[in-house]
């Protein structure tokens, strides 16, 4: 799977400036229909959401596995901060949060697994880099929690997401820099 250090390295190679400890595992949130919920349950479509200096970047998890083969900027979904409206974060059940990202043109609903259950679920598997080994009491040990970057980064990432409107305001108030030629 992917260590946070490797994820940041790949993001940098793609030309972005990742913030430290601002990276979590997400998936698209299903709508309320049973079919959508079943489809979500049986698919393994997870993404790395990395907050960067000027944008949020999403990379499909499968790309992280093969990053050495084809690290191309076209694989990433980029949402510039200046197109965002306030981000909403809500607890939808005992296992997940829903993050709603609204832009000038779209609404993106994401499902984020809670950190307390992370070692037992896909986000912990991805974030510890240990395939199907991190199941049960073995995964919940302190040693596994210490390498689970999804768990470690969740609070900080949510805090940064909720404060993006303040960040945007400070970016817009900065004088533009011109480069003399």
pLDDT tens, residue by residue, 79-116: 999 999 889 999 998 888 999 999 999 999 999 988 88
- Domains, the chain: 4-168 (2.30.29.30)
pLDDT tens, residue by residue, 16-40: 999 999 999 898 887 777 776 676 6
Give the pTM: 0.77
pLDDT tens, residue by residue, 58-67: 988 776 666 5
Q: How far is CA 179 from CA 173, 174, 175, 176, in A?
A: 19, 15, 13, 10
- The residue assigned the tokens 């409107």 is 165
């Amino acid at each position: 799977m992917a260590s946070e250090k490797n994820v940041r390295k790949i993001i940098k190679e793609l030309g972005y400036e990742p913030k430290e400890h601002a990276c979590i595992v997400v998936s698209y949130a299903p709508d309320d229909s049973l079919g959508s919920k079943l489809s979500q349950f049986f698919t393994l479509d997870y993404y790395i959401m990395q907050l960067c200096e000027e944008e949020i970047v999403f990379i499909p998890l499968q790309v992280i596995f093969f990053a050495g083969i084809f690290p191309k900027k076209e694989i990433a979904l980029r949402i510039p901060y200046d197109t965002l409206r306030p981000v909403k974060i809500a607890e939808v059940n005992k296992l997940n949060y829903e993050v709603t990202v609204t832009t000038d043109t779209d609404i993106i609903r994401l499902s984020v697994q809670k950190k307390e259950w992370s070692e037992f679920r896909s986000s912990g598997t991805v974030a510890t880099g240990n395939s199907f080994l991190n199941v049960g009491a073995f995964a919940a040990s302190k040693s596994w929690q210490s390498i689970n970057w999804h768990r470690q980064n969740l609070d900080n990432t949510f805090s940064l997401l909720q404060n993006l409107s303040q960040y945007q305001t400070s970016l817009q108030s900065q004088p533009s820099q011109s480069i003399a030629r």
